[in-house]
Amino acid sequence: MKTIVVVDDHTLLSQAISGLVNSFDDFKVLYTSKHGQDFIDQLAFPNKIPDIVLMDVNMPIMDGIETTAYLKEHHPDIKVLALSVEAEERTILKMIRAGAKGYLLKDTEKSVLENALKELSEHGFYHTNTVTKLLVGSLDVDNALALKEREIEFIKHACTEMTYNEIAEKMFLSPKTVQGYRDSVFAKLNLKNRTGLVIYALKHGYFKV
C-alpha cells in the first residue's frame, strides 16, 4: 500500500482529491496539508512520511515549487506529483527543475490520476498526454540518435536556469551559434519549447533532477 499526502490550500478540493485516492486500490491518503510549511512540519514524525505527494503549485506561506525543492534536498525518496490548474510552460518547467516527477492538470479524469500514481510508483516518472502534447511533439528516434556532441552539451546547459546568452558564454560560442543549436535540436527532436527539451532530457538521461 503506497501512502499519499495531498498538499493544497483549498480544503474542499483537498478532501475531494483524498476521497478519490482512497478509492484506488493500493493507495491510501495519510493526511492533507494546507501549504508546504504545514507539510514539512509533519515530516518531523516518521509515521507521517509518505511515498508520494500530490502537490499544488500556488499556495500561501510556502508554495509547491519551494516545497518540492526542499523535498528534493531533504527527502529525495518522496516522489512529487504536481496537481495544478497552471498549464504555463514556465510554471511546469520550474516544478520539473525543482524535482517534481510528474505534472497533472486539475481537470484530469479520475482514471488518469489513478494511472499517474501507478506509473509514478512503478517507473518513478509520469506526465499526462495533455501536458506532454503541450510541451513535446512526437519524438523522432532516428533524429535523436543523430544528435551531435555539442548539441548534447547544449541540451544539458538548457536544462539549467541559464539564459541562452549565458549558455553561449559557457560553451565559448556566439549567441547566434547557440540559437542555431537550439533550432537544430528542436527540429531533430520535434520539440515545441525549452520545457519539452527538459522533459526529453530527463527521460533519456541527459539531465537528472
pLDDT at 21 over 90: yes
The burial of 49, by beta-carbon neighbours within 10 Å (0-12 exposed, 13-18 middle, 19 or more buried), is given as middle
Model-level pTM?
A: 0.67
What count of Cα atoms within 13 Å lies in the side-chain half-sphere of residue 157? 23
Quick one: DSSP state of residue 47?
A: G
> At a CB cut-off of 8 Å and minimum separation 6, what does 13 contact?
106
In the prediction, which pLDDT does 88 show? 78
Q: How many residues does the chain have?
A: 209
> At a CB cut-off of 8 Å and minimum separation 6, what does 63 contact?
35, 36, 57
What rounded mean pLDDT belongs to the chain?
85
Name the region of 116 (left: φ>0; alpha: ψ -120 to 50; beta: rest).
alpha
Q: What are the distances in angstroms from CA 99 to CA 24, 34, 63, 81, 143?
A: 25, 20, 14, 10, 28
Domains delineated in the chain? 2-135 (3.40.50.2300), 141-203 (1.10.10.10)
pLDDT at 149 over 50: yes
Instruction: Please write the tens of the pLDDT for every residue from 92-122.
Output: 878 888 888 888 888 888 888 898 899 888 8
In the prediction, which pLDDT does 129 show? 55
The more confident residue out of 93 and 129 is 93
